Amino acid sequence: MIGNVHKALWVCSSGAPILIAFSAAWVLGKSTYTLPVIFVFVAVGLIVLASVSFHSMKSRLAVIAVRVKKVTPNDKIMIQYALSYVLPFTSIVWDKINPFMSLVISVVVLVVLLLAHSPTANPLLFFIGYHFYEIETENGIGSYTVMSRRAIRNKDELTNVIRITEYLLLDRSGGR
């Protein structure tokens, strides 16, 4: 499993699309560029760091066998992400925004996501072709989220994974 630093980077990089959407909405609403440019640079930095971390993780974490009882597509978490996180940032009333409260709320969300055992699916991986699946294993533990670049249509197709967090797995079946 990844450590807390990698998990924090994973969670923070999930916010890169939010920063980009916020920047675009700011430019359209305020017609100033300083803050959006900073946010875009931060977003790009998070994307690069997450990419390096993800590729490092794929090569250094152990592949484990898994016996799947049930598998269902779960790309809906990306739709939920877009509707609940990105969309609200495009309609902010700019004159009423409180930067301090925004920072406090962001820190609270980050801490909750870091401490939660629920998997945080990173939308950046969706953009590069990963899909998400909900699986239940034969050892009785259900609600694992599996990320895979291939379409999984049968439970027997998923045999090997890498455990990223407590309940987030990466498909490594078929040498991918």
CA distance 6 to 114: 10
Give 41's contacts (C-beta < 8 A, 6+ positions apart): none
Phi-psi region of 155 (alpha: psi -120 to 50; beta: other; left: phi over 0): alpha
Total domains in the fold of the chain: 1
Residues 24-64 have pLDDT tens digits of: 878 887 778 888 899 899 999 999 998 998 888 888 899 99
Residues 54-104 have pLDDT tens digits of: 888 888 899 999 999 999 888 777 777 666 665 666 566 555 666 677 667
Strands (E), 3-73: 63-65, 68-73
Q: Which pTM was predicted?
A: 0.77
More confident residue, 19 or 159: 159
Domain residues for the domain of 97 are 4-175
Rounded to 10 degrees, the C-alpha dihedral 44/122/77/148 comes to 120
HSE-up of 40 (CA within 13 Å, CB side)?
Answer: 11
